[in-house]
């Protein structure tokens, strides 16, 4: 199975576990990883992925930078304020601190000339009807790829998204899924696009235990 992973990995948590499972599987050919803004800025995710792959003894797996952090600066400010005031709880979100939470301790290599959306489009042509996209964070990189080539869904075998949740009645914390909230335009674009989708909401993610 040929897979491209798109993630906002912030520190060793759920996305890190997913990365471990993909690397450990004999059935998976992991072609690359995109860093997306979400739990932390995409630039920090790129650094975190570099360190993660070193830790998992896969340092040569290519990483591709995602949509730059500046696009989301206002949204992150809103998120931080809401968490501080305890007026909102973001489901599936980590890293709402003021400072960077990248956990690399050594130099991170320069970003490649291709970004995540470049690589998604390239792989979709090279592995038409074979490529599986797995998106564990906000969908900004995928939306950017769609903006550049709206025929992308026709070449992708399947798209797996971790996002959304089932709201609880009378929830005083007004819980919302962070991945969709952070880039709602990208989430709406995926909803309106004819991908072969598998949507895994937060509720199901919590109920499924890796063994």
Q: Which residues of 75-90 are buried (b: 16+ CB within 10 A; e: fewer)?
A: ebeebeebeeeeeeeb
Strand ordering across the sheet containing 131-135? 63-64, 29-35, 2-7, 131-135, 158-162, 197-200
Instruction: Specify the number of domains making up the chain.
Output: 1
Range of the domain at 81: 2-207
Tracing tokens 């969709």 back to the chain, one arrives at 180
DSSP character at residue 62? -
Q: pLDDT (tens digit, 9 = 90+) per residue, 25-43?
A: 999 999 999 999 887 778 8
pLDDT score for 33: 97
Q: Are 109 and 47 in contact (CB under 8 A)?
A: no
Residues 6+ positions from 170 with CB-CB distance below 8 Å = none
Going by C-alpha positions, the residue among 61, 48, 43 that lies closest to residue 16 is 48
Q: pLDDT (tens digit, 9 = 90+) per residue, 66-109?
A: 886 555 556 656 666 665 666 655 554 554 444 444 444 454 55
Q: CATH number for the domain including 121?
A: 3.90.245.10
User: For residue 60, is pLDDT > 80?
Assistant: yes
pLDDT band at residue 198 using 50, 70 and 90 as cut-offs? confident
């Amino acid at each position: 199975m040929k897979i491209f992973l798109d993630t906002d990995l912030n520190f060793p948590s759920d996305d890190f576990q997913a990365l471990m499972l993909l690397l450990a599987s004999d059935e998976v050919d992991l072609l690359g990883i995109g860093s997306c803004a979400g739990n932390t800025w995409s630039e920090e995710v790129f650094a975190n992925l570099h360190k993660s792959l070193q830790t998992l003894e896969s340092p040569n797996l290519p990483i591709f930078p995602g949509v730059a952090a500046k696009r989301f600066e206002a949204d992150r400010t809103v998120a931080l304020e809401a968490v501080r005031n305890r007026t909102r709880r973001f489901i599936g979100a980590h890293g709402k601190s003021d400072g960077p939470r990248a956990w690399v301790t050594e130099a991170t290599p320069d970003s490649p000339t291709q970004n995540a959306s470049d690589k998604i489009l390239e792989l979709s042509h090279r592995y038409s009807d074979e490529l599986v996209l797995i998106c564990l964070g906000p969908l900004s990189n995928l939306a950017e790829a769609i903006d550049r080539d709206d025929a992308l869904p026709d070449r992708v075998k399947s798209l797996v998204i971790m996002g959304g949740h089932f709201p609880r009645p009378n929830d005083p914390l007004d819980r919302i899924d962070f991945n969709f909230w952070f880039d709602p335009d990208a989430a709406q674009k995926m909803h309106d696009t004819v991908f072969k989708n598998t949507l895994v909401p937060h509720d199901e993610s919590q109920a499924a235990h890796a063994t």
